[in-house]
């Protein structure tokens, strides 16, 4: 059993819903879960943080949603070493936009720079291809469960 925090970047609710469904799945598997809709750096630096799942949509022209922006800015400014943290990213986007899924990609890049340990490759959900992402998320989370 691990302590797993879901950090959400959502404008219209899709990423929030994905995070809530994924956290329910993980709670059923016996993990200690917490969904944080407007995370700050304190949420990741807290001593109980083991695993974080960043669940981010993309807004504007390839931007991180407002709910996750303070978290990204604080991490970029303070640049803490996160080598003790395991993480995964679920990136929601729409491939009809130029900067497809850049919100999640930016978060993934920053976590890598901070030396956090990627448990597995980012899951990218394309609203054009996968209007109902539930099945893909369940599969990705099941794999992640086996690795933490």
Interface positions with ligand FMN (CB under 6 A): 10-16, 57-62, 65, 92-94, 97, 99-102, 127
Q: Please identify, using beta-carbon distances, which residue of 102 and 119 lies nearer to ligand FMN.
A: 102
Torsion of CA 108, 79, 66, 141, to 10 degrees: 30
> Which three-class secondary structure state does DSSP give residue 125?
strand
Closest CA to 26 of 90, 93, 114: 90
- Taking the complex as a whole, the smallest distance from the CB of residue 23 to ligand FMN amounts, in Å, to 15
By beta-carbon proximity to ligand FMN, the closer residue of 99 and 120 is 99
**Distance in angstroms (rounded) separating the CA atoms of residues 12 and 24:** 20
* Chain residue whose CB lies nearest ligand FMN: 93
Closest CA to 6 of 47, 73, 40, 51: 51
| Residues 58 and 64: beta-carbon distance below 8 Å | yes
Q: Which is nearer to ligand FMN, 42 or 129 (CB)?
A: 129
Min dist CB 56 to ligand FMN, Å, is 8
| Shortest reach from residue 136's CB to ligand FMN, in Å | 13
Residue 134 CB, shortest distance to ligand FMN, in Å, is: 13
28 vs 98 by CB, closer to ligand FMN: 98
For the chain, the 3-state helix, strand and coil shares in percent, each to the nearest 5, are 40, 25, 40
């Amino acid at each position: 059993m691990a302590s797993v925090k879901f950090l959400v970047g959502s404008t219209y609710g899709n990423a929030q819903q994905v995070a809530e469904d994924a956290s329910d799945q993980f709670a059923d598997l016996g993990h200690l879960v917490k969904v944080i809709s407007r995370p700050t750096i304190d949420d990741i630096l807290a001593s109980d943080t083991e695993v974080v799942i960043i669940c981010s949509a993309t807004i504007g022209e390839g931007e991180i949603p407002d709910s996750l922006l303070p978290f990204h800015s604080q991490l970029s400014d303070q640049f803490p070493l996160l080598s003790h943290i395991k993480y995964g990213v679920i990136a929601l986007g729409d491939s009809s936009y130029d900067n497809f899924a850049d919100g999640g990609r930016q978060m993934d890049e920053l976590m890598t720079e901070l030396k956090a340990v990627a448990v597995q490759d980012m899951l990218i959900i394309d609203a054009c291809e996968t209007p109902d992402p539930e099945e893909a998320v369940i599969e990705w989370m099941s794999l992640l469960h086996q690795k933490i």
